[in-house]
Amino acid sequence: MKFNTKTIHGGQKPDPAYGAVMPPIYQTSTYVQTTPGGHKGFAYSRTHNPTRQALENAFASLENGEFGLAFGSGLAAIDAVMKLLKPGDEVISTNDLYGGTYRLFTKIFESFGIKFHFIGMHNAANIENYINTNTKLIWVETPTNPMMNIIDIVATSKIAKKHNVLLAIDNTFATPYLQRPLDLGADIVMHSATKYLGGHSDLVMGALVVKEKALADRLYFIQNASGAICGPQDAFLALRGIKTLHIRMQRHCENGKAVAEYLVTHPKIEKVYWPGFENHPNHDIAKSQMRDFGGMISFVAKGNNFNEAIKIIENLKIFTLAESLGGVESLAGHPASMTHASIPKEEREKIGVVDSLIRLSVGIEDEEDLINDLKQALA
């Protein structure tokens, strides 16, 4: 089954009760049993729910995985992965990652005795310098948030397998429409399904997808034991959103390209970060592991001035100033004071997240309207 068909039919079956085309919202906490343990596959909705199960099947299908898990948020999904570890274990992570992930790693799991190395992964060979007998996980974002760096998944997976280390990829920015990390050697794929998978800015959700049953069983146990699941209403909304993922992503990519090419020629713009540019570091790797370059862009206005950046953002009219990304509407954000505020300033600036950096999530509106909005805001 081709990807565009998978978004609509992947992992799905008509509802067995009445043949509903869309999985119904099973808004129930519990299920009747004919005898203790005698039920139709569902006993309690923290453990299993038919609507959530349909969504988890869809997640697995999209990523060419075998097992999908849906959580109450992207951070809940990451939290479940971290609970695979124990005190004394070490994690190698990219030094350019979502601020909430950094906060979870440093403020929660470091206090449980897990050590994190935040390193540049532009050259995957650098990872080997930090691997030792305690290393149990490599955590990768690609493209990274918000600097749009590209990390070579194939090269990283070879290193992980050589040292018997798990490799997890945050695939939120790319989505399975653009890249499928399990096919490139990853063990775990994570999504903030709040973003492109849901696609309509109306839910908060996380997802994990794996191929190996033993690993899936460990994660299902953690999911059930910790209880950070999504509800059936949100599962239904995410299923609805996934059905248009392919056509939305095509437009996100088209508009993203147009906006990036406009910004890079603007006299007031100093730097534009977008992996589609031929002079972008690891552009060739992006071409090899991604279908297109996505709708996420970051840029810095000339002069590297905080107040100028805020003025630009506040003057936008179609781009909405808001947290998050990946919805049908275009959003603009200021990473230093919003999504990455939990990262210390000196650490942010080492990786390029300066106070004047602006991040755009380019939506699916008319391309000309988006460019005209940027034009007037920059003027």
Catalytic residue numbers? 46, 98, 170, 195
CB 113 within 8 A of CB 85: no
Cis bond upstream, residue 146 (ω within 30): yes
Nearest to 153 by CA among 127, 116, 115: 127
Q: Which residues contact 25 (CB under 8 A, 6 or more apart)?
A: 51, 232, 233, 235, 236
Cis bond upstream, residue 281 (ω within 30): no
CB 378 within 8 A of CB 266: yes
Q: At 320, which amino acid appears?
A: T
The order of strands in the sheet holding 90-94 is 67-71, 206-210, 188-192, 166-170, 135-141, 90-94, 115-119
* Three-state DSSP state, 108: helix
Token code pair at residue 42: 């569902």
Q: Determine the Cα–Cα distance for residues 38 and 32; give it in Å rounded to an integer.
A: 9
Nearest to 124 by CA among 140, 136, 137, 135: 140
Token code pair at residue 236: 């239904």
Largest CA distance in the chain: 73
| CA distances in angstroms from 44 to 39, 73, 80, 120, listed in the order given | 10, 20, 20, 44
CB 367 within 8 A of CB 258: yes
DSSP alpha helix (H) spans, 128-282: 153-162, 175-178, 213-226, 232-242, 245-264
CB 172 within 8 A of CB 191: yes
